[in-house]
Amino acid sequence: MTKETKKISGIILISIVTIAYGGYFLLGLLSGQYEELQLTEFQKAMFRAGHAHAGVLVILSLVAQLFVDHTRLTGLWKWTARLGIPLAAVFISGGFFAAATGPGLTQPNNMIIILYVGIVFLVVGLLSLGIGLLRK
């Protein structure tokens, strides 16, 4: 395991605490503990989606760190493969949350753009890593 893999993986693992706290909050929200928030069904669904995407993409980010070590990628391409997926986790899940923030929303607000930025990070990171693995 390279020094970069160890460092980035450590940061990713620490970030999982925020996902766990988000799950705790979401559980309270969905079980009616925060009735004062008066969220719409759309907002609840978006919060669930944001939480689920964060968890899945963080796990994928950890696996990707190990894969990067088995490529011959260098410089910008190596860092694109290494950081694209973790950044996607932040932006995609953040996009779901941001797009549903506001009183009484029943459809995404303009902050949905954050989710699309995350999709770009994900696609570029995955393509860099996949091509890097195939070219070895």
Scored b (16 or more CB within 10 A) or e, 56-77 reads ebbebbbebbebbeebebeeeb
Q: Which residues contact 18 (CB under 8 A, 6 or more apart)?
A: none
pLDDT 10s digits, 68-86: 999 999 999 999 999 999 9
pLDDT on residue 35: 81
Tell me, what DSSP letter sits at residue 68?
H
Q: How far is the C-alpha of 108 from the C-alpha of 95, rounded, in Å? A: 10
Ranges under pLDDT 70 in the chain: 136
DSSP per residue, 103-127: TT-SS--GGGHHHHHHHHHHHHHHH
Q: How far is the C-alpha of 92 from the C-alpha of 115, rounded, in Å? A: 4
pLDDT on residue 136: 63
